[in-house]
Amino acid sequence: MSTRAVRTTASALADLRNEPRSPLPGSEKSALADTPATVAAGIKPLRATAVAKAKPASSRKKITVSVVVPRIKPVTQAAVVGKHLTRAQFKSSHAAAPSSVKAVQAFAKAFNLSSKAEPAHSTVHVTGTVKDMQEAFGVTLQEHTVGTKTLRIRQGAIYLPDSVLPHVQAVLGLDNRPQAKPHYRVGKARAAASTSFTPPQLAQLYGFPPSAKATGQTIALIELGGGFRQADIAAYFKSLGIAAPSVKAVLVDGGKNAPSNANGADGEVMLDIEVAAAVAPGAKIAVYFAPNTDQGFVDAIATAAHDTTNKPTIISISWGGPESSWTSQALTALDNACKDAAALGITVTAAAGDDGSNDGVGDGKKHVDFPASSPNVLACGGTKLVASNGAITSEVVWNETANNEGATGGGISTAFPQPTWQKSVAATKSGRGVPDVAGDANPTTGYQVRVDGQNMVIGGTSAVAPLWAGLIALSNATNKNAAGLPQAKLYSTTGQKAFRDITSGNNGAFKAAKGWDACTGLGSPKAASIITLLATKSSAKKKTSRAKA
């Protein structure tokens, strides 16, 4: 990082405006193209509309972007898998580097932009007109309208003054194309109630301790659209005979709790709330609503990880998109936000996707979903579960593509190398393997939920992320310690005995097999064994303790 002093005199600010510029690595944005996220947002087709038809963005409109800056010290892998940091320790060692904050704020001032630093997030929020943003970041912003949807778009790289460049890791929010889609599937009419389950029924089948409570735990849910109604929550939990949870909306970057109808993102929001709270009675729920952009996604996770009011102990994410649809700057920024959470002892669960080994890209190649592919989250794949007389009779890989009802995501990351805790898995030698764990996701054997006054059956790997979030909440409460990133224990020889190994089925390019596979990971949980496992000290922690001694 440059040690050049940051000057804020009038002449210095003028110099910043005239200084030579270079592209910000990883900021390159592609030309307009369909992605699973844009298609899901109802703005298809993009390729069919020439870029030339886009019009200049309104120069006077004010927007806010998130500028991610380096930390005092990067969060190390030892901090993630070893002893968790307190918030005070994190602030002392890993908050935003003051020199970088000062450099970005001086840069903003030079271009008539206001700024507000959030040191814990390692972010400076910069606000100003489109005209000033374009000049500051060396970009051209355009508006592209398809039907009722209007997007602000940019192409190519972001360019920064050479003295500022070392102080910036990402600039998010100039472009507001949808970044992710929710990973849920609504069961068709033939998915009768007799083949679906309430969340407590699934908890019983997976061996969740019947008397366990998650009192003292808060589960954070990341939502990029939709909303919830308290009346639905009250009615649903009354029907289950369970006390309704405390559910609080936290608004990020102008996001809103905006329920509309059961055909939209409300299905995702309600599925997440109802599954997580029903399997982890006593837990509080905090729902972080943010816009469906790379900026909103990153800021929502960072806000949850560093929320000193609600203090989440688990973060559940049911949205995502193929790794190939992300800029590398956004992918790194979101991964780092998940790493922050892990270092603070917060477990992050993420849905592995509902479009099989291609992840909905449609190019005939293998793709994995992000953020499930982050090595700092617990990636959750899907199964098809059949039960009789209160016991599981069959559990195979979820793949109903023949019926147009989706299949679990999974595969090998091209963005992240093999993590240390997957070293014993030969199949992941070339990259981080997805998923880690699994649970019922098939919409034909899905979850009975209530959405906007309607009783529905919903599946998808987005149901598995809150299911595992609830299990981790019970584990934290029972063991009186935070699980954090649990993979070192889960992938151990002892840990693998805490799973139902799924050995039948495929998700397209990958087949189930004995042990870990790229369809269902280690398998579905034997919940009581998982809780016992997470109470023990991992070898990583023991080594850390010996090293300190």
Catalytic residues: 268, 272, 462
> Backbone dihedral region of 345: left (phi > 0), alpha (psi from -120 to 50 degrees) or beta?
left
- What gap in Å lies between CA 312 and CA 326, rounded to an integer? 27
Q: What sign has the CA pseudo-torsion 85, 87, 93, 99?
A: positive
Residue 93 phi, psi (nearest 5)? -105, -25
- What gap in Å lies between CA 369 and CA 381, rounded to an integer? 11
> Backbone dihedral region of 113: left (phi > 0), alpha (psi from -120 to 50 degrees) or beta?
beta
Token pair 């979903």 in the structure block, residue = 369
**Within 13 Å of residue 93, how many CA atoms lie on the same side as its CB?**
14
Token pair 């355009």 in the structure block, residue = 142
CB atoms inside a 10 Å sphere around CB 209? 13
Of all helices (H) and strands (E), which one includes residue 221? strand 218-223
The C-alpha angle 487, 527, 305, rounded to 5 degrees, equals 50
Nearest alpha-carbon partner for 222 in 333, 318, 345:
318
Residue 17 phi, psi (nearest 5)? -70, -30
Name the E strands within 37-112.
55-56, 62-68
DSSP 416-462: SPPPGGGTT-GGGTTS-EE-SEEEE--GGG-EEEEETTEEEEEESHH
Both structure tokens of 36: 């699973």
Nearest alpha-carbon partner for 280 in 239, 353, 340, 220:
220
Both structure tokens of 519: 């369809």
Contacts of 194 (CB under 8 A, 6+ apart): none
- Rounded to a whole number of angstroms, the CA Rg of the chain reads 23
Name the E strands within 82-141.
114-118, 123-129
Nearest alpha-carbon partner for 453 in 243, 240, 229, 191:
229
Token pair 């529905």 in the structure block, residue = 456
Cα 273 to chain center, whole Å? 16
- What gap in Å lies between CA 329 and CA 415, rounded to an integer? 12
Both structure tokens of 16: 């910043």
Cα 250 to chain center, whole Å? 16
DSSP 335-397: HHHHHHHHHTT-EEEEE--SBGGGTT--SSS---EETTT-TTSEEEEEEEEEEETTEEEEEEE
